[in-house]
């Protein structure tokens, strides 16, 4: 690898990256954003339409931003994403449905397209440059754990702040976004080219990345499984939990406690997920996770009460456990030169899915209530995830065992 040898030349990236994550994901609005919009006269169905548009825009930007990160640097993409997110937090406080508000809402989700893919690629390449690629699952889990811990603490404070001045939840998040941008600019860009390689042009790089995702079955099904798996769980505990909790009589101030509990469990899951590697077969973990999400979703939908809210922990913890494991497995199957672009396909599929699941589930919640939407979501989860799981298992069995990360493009054309 050009310009890098095993050592600790990029070790500082890891802790700076964790600080960046803590700042960017200190999102005080997590437990109250739906309530905030409802108080401003926006219905659940209207929120669903806003979310559909925002996620579609994010999906359109996902792969181009990943290709930008591969061509011009992960650091620049991450910093730009944090800056746009910060702008969104201030614009969302303008008059509801005004042009500035709509621009802010568009930035709210689409800013993460610059971060998604580039973040995982940056962390992996930093470790790889120091000869620590074997730590990918461990550090990926820690990265996710810091995200979730920051969100959990912010959720507890955000629910309390909302009782004083709900707009502070967005203002403070915007300030943290500015600090995250500054932190991102302090990162050291790791090399992602092999010795003798030159950067591929934007369009050639994009074509090669599409070819990798399309022609390698194990990459294709891992990408789709990793993208589709969290869709319904995220919709349940991130969106539906608020109207669900309020509907069963939970005071708004306690929403922060519920979110903190969910985040606390997911922090532990992400932080410790790497310990599963080599002890339990990953397909077994995924299979058990599917069963747990199905059971929790069905019970939440059938028996709505304050007591059943505890099952939100199960819905959240399963994706948190699986994400670092599936991400590390996928990273070993793709070349560094196209890593951010290929990983951005994961974000593309997720965002397209959210553009469908958010408005659909919120519309159902408007008509039938949040518990019914949760139960129907569990059924949809089974219909989409189980086939992808089986296709991935079949592809894994046909793929030769790997011990080292893919380092070059096989058969890449001019």
For the chain (414 residues), the mean pLDDT of every run of 10, in chain order, is 49 84 91 86 85 82 71 83 95 92 89 80 79 72 80 84 91 95 88 54 59 75 86 85 85 75 70 69 87 94 89 86 79 68 73 82 87 91 93 80 42 34
User: Can you state the angle between helices 339-368 and 99-115, rounded to 10 degrees?
Assistant: 130
pLDDT number for residue 411: 35
Whole-angstrom distance, CA of residue 347 vs CA of residue 352: 8
pLDDT number for residue 386: 94
pLDDT number for residue 141: 75
Task: Report which of 226, 213, 214, 209 is spatially closest to residue 350, judged by C-alpha positions.
Answer: 226
Distance of CA 372 to the CA centre of its chain: 25
Task: Please provide residue 334's backbone torsions phi and psi, each rounded to the nearest 5 degrees.
Answer: -130, 145
Task: Report which of 213, 229, 233 is spatially closest to residue 343, judged by C-alpha positions.
Answer: 213
Taking a C-beta distance cutoff of 8 angstroms, is the pair 129, 117 a contact? no
Query: Contacts from 387-394 at CB under 8 Å and sequence distance 24+?
Result: 388/221, 388/224, 388/225, 388/228, 388/229, 389/225, 389/283, 389/286, 389/287, 389/290, 391/217, 391/221, 392/218, 392/221, 392/222, 392/225, 392/283, 393/283
pLDDT number for residue 122: 82
pTM attached to this predicted model? 0.61
pLDDT number for residue 5: 41
């Amino acid at each position: 690898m050009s310009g890098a040898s095993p050592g600790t030349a990029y070790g500082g990236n890891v802790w700076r990256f964790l600080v960046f994550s803590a700042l960017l994901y200190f999102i005080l609005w997590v437990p109250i954003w739906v309530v905030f919009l409802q108080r401003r006269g926006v219905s659940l169905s209207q929120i669903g339409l806003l979310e559909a548009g925002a996620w579609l825009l994010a999906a359109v930007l996902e792969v181009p931003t990943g290709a930008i990160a591969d061509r011009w640097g992960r650091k620049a993409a991450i910093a730009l994403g944090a800056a746009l997110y910060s702008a969104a937090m201030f614009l969302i406080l303008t008059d509801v449905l005004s042009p500035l508000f709509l621009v802010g809402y568009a930035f709210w989700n689409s800013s993460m397209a610059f971060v998604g893919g580039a973040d995982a690629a940056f962390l992996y390449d930093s470790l790889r440059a120091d000869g620590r690629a074997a730590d990918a699952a461990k550090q990926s889990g820690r990265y996710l754990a810091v995200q979730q811990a920051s969100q959990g603490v912010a959720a507890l404070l955000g629910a309390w702040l909302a009782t004083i001045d709900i707009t502070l939840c967005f203002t403070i998040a915007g300030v943290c976004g500015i600090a995250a941008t500054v932190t991102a600019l302090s990162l050291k860009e790791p090399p992602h080219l092999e010795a003798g390689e030159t950067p591929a042009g934007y369009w050639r790089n994009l074509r090669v990345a599409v070819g990798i995702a399309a022609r390698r079955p194990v990459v294709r099904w891992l990408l789709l499984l990793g993208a589709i798996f969290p869709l319904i769980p995220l919709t349940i505990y991130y969106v539906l939990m608020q109207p669900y909790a309020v509907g069963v009589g939970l005071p708004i101030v306690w929403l922060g406690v519920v979110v903190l509990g969910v985040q606390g469990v997911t922090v532990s899951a992400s932080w410790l997920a790497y310990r599963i590697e080599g002890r339990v077969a990953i397909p077994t973990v995924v299979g058990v996770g599917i069963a747990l999400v199905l059971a929790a979703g069905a019970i939440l939908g059938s028996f709505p009460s304050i007591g059943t809210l505890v099952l939100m922990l199960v819905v959240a913890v399963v994706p948190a456990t699986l994400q670092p494991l599936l991400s590390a497995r996928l990273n070993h199957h793709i070349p560094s030169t196209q890593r951010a672009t290929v990983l951005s396909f994961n974000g593309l599929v997720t965002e397209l899915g959210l553009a469908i699941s958010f408005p659909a589930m919120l519309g159902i919640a408007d008509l039938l209530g949040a518990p019914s939407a949760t139960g129907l979501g569990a059924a949809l989860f089974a219909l989409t995830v189980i086939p992808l799981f089986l296709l991935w298992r079949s592809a894994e069995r046909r793929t030769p065992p790997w011990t080292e990360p893919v380092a070059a493009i096989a058969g890449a054309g001019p």
